[in-house]
Amino acid sequence: MNPTKKLLIIGFVWPEPNSSAAGGRMMQLISIFRENGFEITFASAAQDSDFMVDLSEFDVERKSIELNNSSFDNFIIELDPDVVLFDRFMIEEQFGWRVAENCPKALRLLDTEDLHCLRMARQKAFKENRTFELTDLLSEEVAKREIASILRCDLNYIISEFEMKVLKDVFKIDSGLLQYLPFLVEEITEKHLLKLPSFEDRQHFVFIGNFLHEPNWNTVQYLKEAIWPLIKKDLPEAVLEIYGAYPSQKVLQLHQPKNGFFIMGRAVDANEIIKKSRVVLAPIRFGAGLKGKLLEAMQCGTPSVTSTIGSEAMHENLPWNGFIEDTPDEFAKKAISLYQDENLWKQSQKKAIAIINECYSKDKYSEELINRVNSLLNDSETHRLHNFMGSLLQHHTLKSTKYMAKWIEAKNKNL
């Protein structure tokens, strides 16, 4: 009988699946590794939050760790994991060298969440009122850190096919270091739609998104200033409900009931809210990765109107379950049509079935994930031998990051 394999996940924060798509994504990964017999420990230096998931319910050991502290070395030596998963490149920067030094044989995986450099370069271009070009990435400071982190790892989970292309074409990353891994959900049929609230039983437009994420805040501003007035003009009784975790005071100040614009705050159950809404609005103007809110809308049978950025890499060549528009006028027109036309709404709703089953099948991608991990566990030495740039970066990182961390640790002890 094979011994149980150990997985250590090092998280930027404790998972909050009801607060963000990133939290939901992490729980999907935990589920897959658990189903395949891994013993899982989740470690984080983050503070506890009121909304973090109880990991013990998922048979996951929880461990609080400290940044720039050699206590982590003792912890990981004792745990002796077979696989270590970093949930953002910043976490690999902080702990990757310690893992490599203390558990050199452990497989190092990185879940990028999204390409931070892509999101930030797009945000910068947007704020400077210019067109984003892929070559912008080459001068993006965070790109140098992020790509170095990707190269140091044995395998990187990339959530978007567009980002796979960027990594290969722009940064020339070897495909052997990359694995495409979108959101993973169960397949559905038309019978699933019959169990959901009908067109007549739904009301209101809705947007949902974590407000710690800059693209979401920008989207709400855009809705308020440019799109909602156009919808409200044709549909005077219409209501738009804005949900999201961690709303700041500037978000709350947009609450304007007399104009049908409601800032609702955190959603206790996002699924229930989206199921009762008629149309999701998501005119996202910059960002990266996949949009969890739009996949959730598909699962809830709720058509959406989004932008080209919002739909990027989410539906392959399949028709969108609603509309993709980039100008306020057209966006508002399509939103009104979906809200009023029951036949159009039902047609759009059904398009989600093909997208979910073709693009996000848990069975398909989870099998590929585990097969790749097992393959690397069987021959990590050969894999690493062919990743010379990664070895080179690991060598220099061990020297530079290691001594910076030790200097910080020594400084902290003297405070």
Residue 265 placed within a domain: yes
Instruction: Point out the domain boundary residue: 343, 359, 375.
Output: 359
| Nearest by Cα to 119 from 285, 234, 245, 352 | 285
pTM for the whole structure? 0.92
| Residue 79 contacts residue 8 (beta carbons within 8 Å) | yes
Assess whether 133 and 226 both reside in one domain: no
The yes-or-no verdict on residue 86 having pLDDT over 80 is yes
Residue 118 placed within a domain: yes
- Measured CA distances, 25 to 10, 17, 302, 402 (Å): 14, 8, 21, 30
Assess whether 250 and 388 both reside in one domain: no
Residue 81 placed within a domain: yes
Assess whether 180 and 196 both reside in one domain: no
Assess whether 209 and 307 both reside in one domain: yes
The yes-or-no verdict on residue 161 having pLDDT over 60 is yes
Assess whether 112 and 136 both reside in one domain: yes
Q: In the predicted model, what is the mean pLDDT of residues 335-361? A: 97
Three-state secondary-structure class, residue 266: coil
What is d(CA 202, CA 134) in angstroms, rounded to the nearest whole number? 41
Consecutive H or E run containing 36: none
Residue 391 placed within a domain: yes
Assess whether 308 and 345 both reside in one domain: yes
CB neighbours of residue 352 within 10 Å: 28
pLDDT of residue 397: 65
pLDDT of residue 391: 85
Taking 3-state DSSP, the helix, strand and coil percentages for the chain, each rounded to the nearest 5, stand at 50, 15, 35
Indicate the average pLDDT of the chain: 94
pLDDT of residue 404: 67
Residue 318 DSSP label: S
Amino acid at 200: E
What is d(CA 134, CA 88) in angstroms, rounded to the nearest whole number? 22
CB neighbours of residue 407 within 10 Å: 11
Q: How many domains does the chain have?
A: 2
* CATH assignment of the domain containing 339: 3.40.50.2000
Residue 334 placed within a domain: yes
Amino acid at 312: E
What is d(CA 115, CA 6) in angstroms, rounded to the nearest whole number? 27
How many whole angstroms from its chain centre is CA 225? 27
Strands (E), 163-266: 178-180, 205-208, 240-243, 261-265
Assess whether 352 and 207 both reside in one domain: yes
Residue 1 placed within a domain: no
pLDDT of residue 392: 85
pLDDT of residue 413: 75
The yes-or-no verdict on residue 403 having pLDDT over 80 is no
Residue 213 DSSP label: S
Rounded to the nearest 10 degrees, the angle between the axes of helix 342-359 and helix 292-299 is 110
Q: Which domain holds residue 36?
A: 6-184+362-414
pLDDT of residue 95: 96
Assess whether 55 and 112 both reside in one domain: yes
pLDDT of residue 408: 73
Assess whether 342 and 259 both reside in one domain: yes
Residue 228 token pair: 């909602």
Assess whether 386 and 255 both reside in one domain: no
Residue 225 placed within a domain: yes
Instruction: Point out the domain boundary residue: 342, 359, 376.
Output: 359
Assess whether 170 and 200 both reside in one domain: no
What is d(CA 336, CA 257) in angstroms, rounded to the nearest whole number? 19
Assess whether 173 and 90 both reside in one domain: yes
The yes-or-no verdict on residue 1 having pLDDT over 60 is no
Residue 354 placed within a domain: yes
What is d(CA 271, CA 189) in angstroms, rounded to the nearest whole number? 18
The model's pLDDT over 200-241, given as tens digits with 9 standing for 90+, comes to 999 999 999 999 899 999 999 999 999 999 999 999 999 999
Instruction: Point out the domain boundary residue: 319, 337, 359.
Output: 359
Angle at 229 between CA 227 and CA 235, to 5 degrees: 105
